[in-house]
Amino acid sequence: MRIVSLVPSLTEAVVHTAPEMLVGATDWCSHPPGLDVPRVGGSKYPRIDEVLSLEPDLVLVNEEENRRADADALRAAGVRLHVTFPRTVDGALAELTTLVEVLGRPEPAWLRTAKAAWAAVRRPDRLRTAAIPVWRRPWIVVGGDTFAGDVLRRLGVVNAFEAGGDRYPRPSLDEIRARDLDLVVLPDEPYLFTRDDGPEAFPGVPAALVSGRHLTWYGPSLAEAPALLSAQLAAAS
């Protein structure tokens, strides 16, 4: 099978499961490091002609990361799509199990480890309320019904913007500060928050700088995510 992945999480999953099948990926597919396959542009704006030139049997897409117009163009060209859109950890593990089945491979070690790691998570007795910005200028935060929100909920962090129908609200900084926050969670992607860029906007609120890949990617990183994110959250001060 020849696979082009337009989803960084799934690119990593294929490489760790059936690397010989991957014939193309996006410019944002950064894991594993040193991945050497043709690049077909970004997740939002892939170069469809280049995808087609790779003669894929299957293209991996995500309902949120990729545009419907590109999915429709690929379908119109006769390309089979595998569509994903997990909103919870359990949903991600189930979708990854289905992907492995589509690849025709036995369950890989990384997926078994990820399932075991999350099954072992016990939510702390003390819950902390947090805002989770993913961008600034303008500020964008994680809202309800999101994979990242479920990841943090399992680790004892309540999303201050969970309620409401917007998955990624755009509150003002004053609106974020007005919430009764115990913590602000600042990932290093898609916006690269650092010790010098982000925490200063929330004086008096502990800031947890966390791995964006482990917070938002659903793939082999799920095996490491509970321990790594728990440690990063605990270090917030």
Cα angle 44, 45, 51 (rounded to 5 degrees) comes to 115
The answer to whether 207 and 198 have CB atoms below 8 angstroms apart is: yes
**What does the alpha-carbon distance between residue 30 and residue 32 come to, in Å, rounded to a whole number?**
6
Up-side HSE of residue 42: CA atoms within 13 Å toward CB?
Answer: 4
Give the mean pLDDT of 17-27: 97
For position 123, what pLDDT does the model report? 84
Categorize the per-residue pLDDT at 237 as very low, low, confident or very high, splitting at 50, 70 and 90. low
- β-bridge mates for residue 185, sequence order: 208
Does pLDDT of 164 surpass 80?
Answer: no
Tokens representing 159 are 């999303």
Output the average pLDDT for the chain.
96
Categorize the per-residue pLDDT at 125 as very low, low, confident or very high, splitting at 50, 70 and 90. confident
Q: What is the CA radius of gyration of the chain?
A: 18
- β-bridge mates for residue 3, sequence order: 22, 58
Q: What is the pLDDT of residues 197-221, one digit of tens each?
A: 999 999 999 999 999 999 999 999 9
Helical axes 109-119 vs 89-103, angle rounded to 10°:
160
**What does the alpha-carbon distance between residue 155 and residue 148 come to, in Å, rounded to a whole number?**
11
Q: What is the pLDDT of residues 56-100, one digit of tens each?
A: 999 999 999 999 999 999 999 999 999 999 999 999 999 999 999
Q: Report the candidate in 34, 64, 92, 95 with the shortest Cα–Cα distance to residue 226.
A: 92
Q: Which domains does the chain have, with CATH numbers?
A: 3-85 (3.40.50.1980), 124-234 (3.40.50.1980)
Q: What is the pLDDT of residues 131-159, one digit of tens each?
A: 999 999 999 999 999 999 999 999 999 99
The answer to whether 155 and 227 have CB atoms below 8 angstroms apart is: no
Taken as a whole, the chain contains a residue count of 237
pTM of the model: 0.92
**What does the alpha-carbon distance between residue 119 and residue 224 come to, in Å, rounded to a whole number?**
13
Does pLDDT of 30 surpass 70?
Answer: yes
